[in-house]
Amino acid sequence: MNSISIRYSILFLLILIQVPRIYITAQSINSINISPQNPTKQDSILIMVNCTFSSSSCDSSLDYLSVNNNIIYASTTHCIGMLPTTCDATDTFVVSGLPAGSYTFMYKVNQGYLPSCTPGIVPGPTDSLTFNVSASTDIPLITQDNDLVIYPSISTGTIFLKSSKGLNNADFTIYSIHGMEVFNTKINGNKVRINLDIEPGVYCYAIKNKGKALGVNKLFIKAK
């Protein structure tokens, strides 16, 4: 057998070894986690995806990340080696500047084969994680100044605030149930009338004076 025949024989054997691998999904997504676990709109969010591969190596060759409204799309292509050795990899992504709201992180992991890291024909596994970004770390506070009265709790758009102590340049903010700020104004005096131009629904209001939370509660806006 001449050298050319030997080379073709070796190439044929390599193809026989590699072809079955193209039809087998050799990777899995184990977990998706974020840090911090309860992010606010001021945070940079670290997203960590742990994957397992049934062949070495786990080198990443290409990462993709895109934010489209409230959907975060991401994918990674890993170059898979010839050895049948299980290995783990953690892909990381960082997103920042997200407005308050609910988000879904959608992830896909692809595998390519050495030496050129060519992707196989079997689609890689996908997974997703939904998380909320709050408008402020102050929103979870449930407190109420006994001197402060807000009425009515069910309104068509006009509400009143009363305080015998008086309010001096206090912040009055309304958030949607997803934590997104929809209204903000400064309030002064003992009795204040506020006209709201927001859609009917359930909201949360927060009042702060000189950095101190005076009240956080629900507000119901009904159609006129």
Q: What is the pLDDT of residues 77-108, one digit of tens each?
A: 777 666 656 677 777 788 878 898 999 999 98
Q: Do 213 and 152 sit in the same domain of this protein?
A: yes
Tell me the pLDDT tens digit for each residue of 31-46: 998 877 788 887 778 7
User: How many structural domains comprise the chain?
Assistant: 2
Q: What is the mean pLDDT of residues 120-130?
A: 80
Q: Do 32 and 90 sit in the same domain of this protein?
A: yes
Q: Do 42 and 117 sit in the same domain of this protein?
A: yes
Q: Do 129 and 76 sit in the same domain of this protein?
A: yes
Q: Do 128 and 156 sit in the same domain of this protein?
A: no
C-beta separation of 216 from 142 below 8 A: yes
State the pLDDT at residue 73: 94
Q: What is the mean pLDDT of residues 136-163?
A: 70
Q: Which CATH number covers residue 166? A: 2.60.40.10
Domain-terminating residue out of 90, 110, 133 = 133
- Retrieve residue 68's tokens: 């489209």
Sheet holding 44-53: strands in order across?
27-35, 44-53, 87-96
- Which domain range does residue 157 map to? 148-221
Q: Do 153 and 121 sit in the same domain of this protein?
A: no
Q: Do 104 and 47 sit in the same domain of this protein?
A: yes
State the pLDDT at residue 75: 87
pLDDT at 173 over 80: yes
169 within some domain: yes
State the pLDDT at residue 158: 92
18 within some domain: no
Question: Phi/psi at 21 (nearest 5 deg)?
Answer: -65, -30
Q: What is the mean pLDDT of residues 110-139?
A: 72
Q: Do 47 and 73 sit in the same domain of this protein?
A: yes
142 within some domain: no
Q: What is the mean pLDDT of residues 114-135?
A: 77
Of residues 216, 198, 70, 195, the one with CA closest to residue 136? 216
C-beta separation of 74 from 48 below 8 A: no
pLDDT at 214 over 70: yes
Q: Do 64 and 30 sit in the same domain of this protein?
A: yes
Higher pLDDT, 134 or 110: 134
107 within some domain: yes
Q: Do 33 and 116 sit in the same domain of this protein?
A: yes
Q: Do 56 and 102 sit in the same domain of this protein?
A: yes
**pTM of the prediction?**
0.49
pLDDT at 62 over 70: no
Q: What is the mean pLDDT of residues 160-166?
A: 85
Cβ density class 14-51: b for 16+ within 10 Å, e for less: eeeeeeebeeeebbebeebebeeeebbbebebebebeb
Based on the number of CB atoms within 10 Å of its own CB, is 150 exposed (0-12), middle (13-18) or buried (19 or more)? buried
The rounded mean pLDDT for the chain is 75
